[in-house]
A and B are shown apart, each in its own frame.
Chain A
Amino acid sequence: EAQVTQNPRYLITVTGKKLTVTCSQNMNHEYMSWYRQDPGLGLRQIYYSMNVEVTDKGDVPEGYKVSRKEKRNFPLILESPSPNQTSLYFCASRPQGQGSNQPQHFGDGTRLSIL
């Protein structure tokens, strides 16, 4: 089954404690992306990657890092989390070939609470 898998699904942690949210896709997609969803703001892009070792900032990259060492994985790293990063996070992927007209496949989300 084609899917995007995020882990963990839920996490409560404290300010300053480094955490990583993993994302893996089994569709051999080149493009992967991270979003955060906040009430009244919709989804905002944090980072995206067009292929292995190619990443770029989205609209709200501050406080986040990503890496793309393998095609299937695109982890989101919060090196020093703060309460304003409490949010619902989504990973997504799509084929790169035809650009942004390809629909993205989304994971089920990770709810992070930073105390």
Chain B
Amino acid sequence: AQSVTQPDIHITVSEGASLELRCNYSYGATPYLFWYVQSPGQGLQLLLKYFSGDTLVQGIKGFEAEFKRSQSSFNLRKPSVHWSDAAEYFCAVGTGFQKLVFGTGTRLLVSP
């Protein structure tokens, strides 16, 4: 069965420092991959998505993610974190069965 693992429950990054959030998936076919962000009291907002083609995808708010098939990973990166990036981040895989399977989320804290 498909699954998504986000190994880091919490991450703290200094403002201005770089960020990488890890995501590993398990799925037998080519996955559709997404990163969503959830700010407190808000729904989920799509940051970026990967379907095919270029394995480095650009998203909103300066985020990017790289799909690595050999490692079954889709890590999210940002070169310089802003205090407003503090939120919870979810990786998700879309399957051919009309489902979207989410990871358990990584909460990002940004220190001054």
Contact = CB atoms under 8 A, between A and B. Distances in A.
A58 interface: yes
A106 to B, nearest CB: 4
B98 A103 contact: no
Contacts of B49: 101, 103
A100 B32 contact: yes
Interface residues of B, number: 26
Contacts of A44: 102
Contacts, number: 60
A50 B43 contact: no
A95 interface: no
A100 B94 contact: yes
A109 interface: yes
Contacts of B97: 100
B43 A108 contact: yes
B51 interface: yes
Given A42-B104, A45-B100, A101-B51, A106 B90 contact: no
14 contacts: A31-B98, A40-B9, A41-B104, A42-B103, A44-B102, A56-B98, A90-B43, A90-B44, A99-B94, A100-B32, A100-B99, A106-B43, A106-B44, A107-B43
